[in-house]
Amino acid sequence: MSVIESIMQTAAQFLPDKKKDPLIDQAGFVGKPVTRVDAEVKVTGEARFTAEFRVPDLVYGALVYSAIAKGKSTKIDTSRAKAVTGVLEVITHHNMPRMKAPPLANFEDLGKGVALSDLPIMQDDAIYWDGQPVAVVVAETLEQAEYAASLVQIDYAAESPQVLFEAMKAGAVTPHDVMGEPPEIKIGDVKKGLEQASVSVDNIYRAPRYNHNAIEPHATIAFWNPDGGLAVFDSTQSVNLTAHTLAYIFSLKNEDVQVVAPFVGGGFGGKAGLWNHTALCAAAAKVVNRPVKLALSREGVFRVIGGRTISEQRVALGAGKDGRLDALLHTGITATTRSGRYAEQCTFPARHLYGPPNVFIGQKVVYLDTVANTWMRAPGESIGTFALESAIDELAFELRMDPIEVRRINEPVKDPTKDTLFSSRQLVEAYRMGAEKFGWARRNPEPRSQREGKWLIGQGVATAYYPYMRFPAKARVCIHADGTAIVQTPACEMGMGTATVQIQHAADRMGLSLQQVTFQYGDSQLPDTPMLAGGSNQTATIVAAVQAAVEQIYREMLRLAGKRADSPLHGAKYEQVQARDGGIYRIGDLNHGETYSDILRAAGRASVEAEASSGPPLETMKYSMASYGAQFCEVRVHAETGEIRLSRWLGSFDCGTIVNPKTAVSQLQGGIIMGIGMALTEETLFDERRGRIMNPSLAEYHVPVNLDVPPIEIVYTDIPDEHAPLGARGLGEIGITGAAAAIANAIFNATGKRIRELPISLDKLL
């Protein structure tokens, strides 16, 4: 028996019995395009984001950033800064409170905290990257703090930094792991497979650094309570993991730190872990003994928060004349830091999409002296699908076959590297639906064959892929005698619609109206459980925990009702009842039941409450689980200037049950727009001699604007995945995957030019 088989067999013992969740088939609120519960407070400006909280006695922090990438500060002259009116303190490593170095993210035990670098924060004179905070100025007003920060004089002893990716590539090393997976996978003999293939392609694909640019720049407000506890408003994707991280850094108990974030203006991975400014804000509040606000400027986000690594990938494919893949090689080199050690998982799609007999997958990293790289929407899968799905298109062209047909005939029956069955994989159906809606059959496969005046027109397609994730978590649910319910988790709402879909789920689960359910989130003092609005996991994670808590409430309600001989539920077992119309009823006998109000009043109880945990994601051990999609687009390239305009987009996705079409479509469109930025407009410009980011502003780092984005149509299979809570897999990140490849493939179809380096700017087409 293979290791994986024995794990599967062990896992099977712990899997819940195959009984399907009845909500998967119920036509309730789940599946309806419910308007966001926070829509009104957002459009009226009532919603409070971190930097908007009014805290009495608040003072303002401003950071001073290192101007060298490696070395030491030998002297920090704060005298002029201190003399500025309103300045309370200038804090450097000399007078910074002692803090432990933050804990690196560890997915085996998220509860310890999550940071993307384990470097100590302003504890000594060492400098590790250009942009590292070296002083914090605290003043009565933001203007005073920023002005004073500009007057801090730093002398450096600079060393020459390792910042040149090109020069370091030859010495790239194999990382210990890639997000917990082996860095290398070998099946068969890829070299032989490539040599013997009738048709092959073998090319290098490059992508630049990208930086995070959420609408809301990172911000923190921190203050210390008289009892020594720490209270923090923070723009974070995880209130309780940020609380744990701060507790660790300041040697406090988890319960002595409260982190609150009712609304977050986008995160995309950039707010998933703790970065320097949050710890520095808390430390500054301690030093001046006042609440401090430290809101990063847009430049500050570029200097202090990591982004997506620069990358170079090689994809080689070999196939028979019939289009069947014999060999697949996908290797990648990405950059990271010695303090972060994060190898972006660019080879993950290649591990699960195609199953030729000969495979080599391998990742390497180079260590650079920069800010730690981090997760950015579909880290790995975004750039990984650019390389892999461009290569599939190139192979299809060599074969003179339709690229969708190449994918269809290479669709595996089981996961090629994990060697398990798929929980549900409807990629072929997503292609069929998408092709029909997009009119793929009308496309001319011959490059440069479609033209309107000076505009060359082309269409491209690529596969989208993002794994399913679920974390073990806790939820607390309370049903009151008035028939209302409260659901509590420390979830984060950064615009995805979490509160809305969780109310839809809880209402269906308990047979209540949407108005009867309150969803409380965004506060680390809600049931403390590792919860992260990242990895497209939050919906499944919360649903599983709420399901467990509601089951406990039901059992308690049945116990209470069972005490009365005249109750229609007397003697009823949990398996025999269902939620409906504000109460519990016997399945198949809907006249026999009671409302929660009746049960609770008869029992003399004001409420029933339960806190429950969902177990680990055994479903992902037993099955290969992911969301899939097919990205179709049409480009127009100006024959003389190389200008690229997108004229049409259709994304066809298979993400299981769509819990809310309105928020889901918005998420998928947002991902695609971010993919358009990755493909065409975004690029962090980096001084390869000094290691300094040169375009730290939205004026020079170009995210797509409305005119860059065509109408985006979204279709989806809506086929439930019976192994995922509610049948729903994630969809927050998949939209960006496949997008850059679809564009590159469309540009090839339009112009005959194959561009393998992002962003595809017009100069590359001339």
Smallest Cα–Cα separation from 729: which of 623, 603, 651? 623
Which one, 363 or 374, has the nearer CB to ligand MOS?
Answer: 374
Question: Helix, strand or coil for residue 461?
Answer: strand
Question: Helix, strand or coil for residue 392?
Answer: helix
Confirm whether 733 is a catalytic residue.
Answer: yes
Which one, 266 or 483, has the nearer CB to ligand MOS?
Answer: 266
Q: Does 348 bind ligand MOS (CB under 6 A)?
A: no
Instruction: For 639-663, give the DSSP string.
Output: TTT--EEEEEEEEEEE-BS-S-HHH
Q: Does 739 bind ligand MOS (CB under 6 A)?
A: no
Q: Does the bond joining 759 to the residue before it have cis omega, within 30 degrees of 0?
A: yes
Task: Tell me phi and psi for residue 302, to 5 degrees.
Answer: -65, -35
Q: What is the DSSP letter of 171?
A: G
Please state the closest distance from residue 387 (CB atom) to ligand MOS, in A: 18
Cβ-based neighbours of 703, under 8 Å, separated by 6 or more: 213, 677, 681, 682
The region of 104-112, 263-271, 624-632, 687-695 touching ligand MOS under the rule CB under 6 A is: 263-271
Question: Residue 366 corresponds to which amino acid?
Answer: V
Please state the closest distance from residue 237 (CB atom) to ligand MOS, in A: 6
The region of 264-272, 339-347, 384-392, 395-403 touching ligand MOS under the rule CB under 6 A is: 264-272
Please state the closest distance from residue 377 (CB atom) to ligand MOS, in A: 5
Please state the closest distance from residue 236 (CB atom) to ligand MOS, in A: 11
The region of 268-276, 287-295, 482-490, 582-590 touching ligand MOS under the rule CB under 6 A is: 268-276
Which one, 30 or 343, has the nearer CB to ligand MOS?
Answer: 343
Q: Give the one residue of 277, 293, 377, 622 binding ligand MOS; rule: CB under 6 A.
A: 377
The sign one gets for the Cα dihedral 251, 254, 260, 261 is positive
- Side-chain-side CA neighbours of 565 within 13 Å: the count stands at 0
Which one, 217 or 534, has the nearer CB to ligand MOS?
Answer: 534
For ligand MOS, the binding residues in 237-256 under the rule CB under 6 A are: 237
Judge residue 442's burial from the number of C-beta atoms within 10 Å of its C-beta, 0-12 exposed, 13-18 middle, 19 or more buried. Answer: exposed
Question: Residue 398 corresponds to which amino acid?
Answer: E
For ligand MOS, the binding residues in 54-93 under the rule CB under 6 A are: none
Please state the closest distance from residue 541 (CB atom) to ligand MOS, in A: 12
d(CA 678, CA 213): 12
Which one, 113 or 379, has the nearer CB to ligand MOS?
Answer: 379
Which one, 89 or 682, has the nearer CB to ligand MOS?
Answer: 682
Please state the closest distance from residue 73 (CB atom) to ligand MOS, in A: 33
Q: Does 353 bind ligand MOS (CB under 6 A)?
A: no
Q: Give the one residue of 8, 134, 138, 272 binding ligand MOS; rule: CB under 6 A.
A: 272
Smallest Cα–Cα separation from 163: which of 684, 690, 683? 690
Cβ-based neighbours of 125, under 8 Å, separated by 6 or more: 72, 73, 74, 93
Q: Give the one residue of 267, 318, 323, 629 binding ligand MOS; rule: CB under 6 A.
A: 267
Which one, 237 or 385, has the nearer CB to ligand MOS?
Answer: 237
For ligand MOS, the binding residues in 708-737 under the rule CB under 6 A are: 733
Cβ-based neighbours of 424, under 8 Å, separated by 6 or more: 654, 656, 719, 720, 721, 722, 723
Would strands 583-586 and 577-580 be described as parallel, antiparallel, or unpaired? Answer: antiparallel
The region of 65-73, 75-83, 84-92, 266-274 touching ligand MOS under the rule CB under 6 A is: 266-274
Question: Residue 380 corresponds to which amino acid?
Answer: G
- Side-chain-side CA neighbours of 670 within 13 Å: the count stands at 20
Please state the closest distance from residue 379 (CB atom) to ligand MOS, in A: 5
Site string for ligand MOS, 672-701 (x = CB under 6 A): ------------------------------
Tokens standing for 586? 């016997």
Cβ atoms of 316 and 200 closer than 8 Å: yes
Which one, 71 or 270, has the nearer CB to ligand MOS?
Answer: 270
Please state the closest distance from residue 497 (CB atom) to ligand MOS, in A: 15
Q: Which residues pair with 219 in a beta bridge?
A: 295
Q: What is the DSSP letter of 338?
A: T
Please state the closest distance from residue 668 (CB atom) to ligand MOS, in A: 15
Q: Give the one residue of 208, 269, 340, 759 binding ligand MOS; rule: CB under 6 A.
A: 269
The region of 210-218, 372-380, 653-661, 748-756 touching ligand MOS under the rule CB under 6 A is: 372-380
Cβ atoms of 543 and 504 closer than 8 Å: no
d(CA 681, CA 710): 14
Please state the closest distance from residue 278 (CB atom) to ligand MOS, in A: 17
Question: Residue 738 corresponds to which amino acid?
Answer: G
The region of 370-378, 389-397, 621-629, 710-718 touching ligand MOS under the rule CB under 6 A is: 370-378
d(CA 332, CA 635): 28
644-650-655-660 Cα dihedral, nearest 10 degrees: 110
The region of 106-114, 369-377, 485-493, 570-578 touching ligand MOS under the rule CB under 6 A is: 369-377
d(CA 327, CA 751): 29
d(CA 286, CA 284): 5
Cβ atoms of 365 and 335 closer than 8 Å: yes
Please state the closest distance from residue 270 (CB atom) to ligand MOS, in A: 8
Angle of helix 276-288 relative to helix 239-249, nearest 10 degrees, comes to 60
Task: Tell me phi and psi for residue 158, to 5 degrees.
Answer: -90, 140
Return the exposure string of 372-387: e unless at least 16 CB atoms fall within 10 Å of the residue's CB, then b. Answer: bbbbbbbbbbbbbbbb
The region of 32-40, 371-379, 620-628, 680-688 touching ligand MOS under the rule CB under 6 A is: 371-379
Which one, 349 or 534, has the nearer CB to ligand MOS?
Answer: 534
Q: Give the one residue of 233, 263, 268, 632 binding ligand MOS; rule: CB under 6 A.
A: 268
d(CA 508, CA 519): 14
Q: Does 375 bind ligand MOS (CB under 6 A)?
A: yes
Which one, 50 or 382, has the nearer CB to ligand MOS?
Answer: 382
Q: Give the one residue of 379, 384, 434, 629 binding ligand MOS; rule: CB under 6 A.
A: 379
Q: Give the one residue of 116, 282, 294, 376 binding ligand MOS; rule: CB under 6 A.
A: 376
Report the residue number whose CB is nearest to ligand MOS: 269
Angle of helix 538-562 relative to helix 498-510, nearest 10 degrees, comes to 30
Q: Does 535 bind ligand MOS (CB under 6 A)?
A: yes
Please state the closest distance from residue 685 (CB atom) to ligand MOS, in A: 22
Q: Give the one residue of 161, 306, 534, 593 binding ligand MOS; rule: CB under 6 A.
A: 534
Smallest Cα–Cα separation from 212: which of 700, 575, 565, 696? 696
For ligand MOS, the binding residues in 211-240 under the rule CB under 6 A are: 237
Catalytic-labelled residue, pool 89, 493, 634, 733:
733
The region of 267-275, 478-486, 575-583, 616-624 touching ligand MOS under the rule CB under 6 A is: 267-275
The sign one gets for the Cα dihedral 435, 436, 441, 443 is negative
Which one, 268 or 440, has the nearer CB to ligand MOS?
Answer: 268
Size of the site for ligand MOS (CB under 6 A): 12
Cβ atoms of 371 and 201 closer than 8 Å: no
Please state the closest distance from residue 536 (CB atom) to ligand MOS, in A: 7
Residues recognised as catalytic? 733
- For binding to ligand MOS (CB under 6 A), which residues are involved? 237, 267-269, 272, 375-377, 379, 534-535, 733
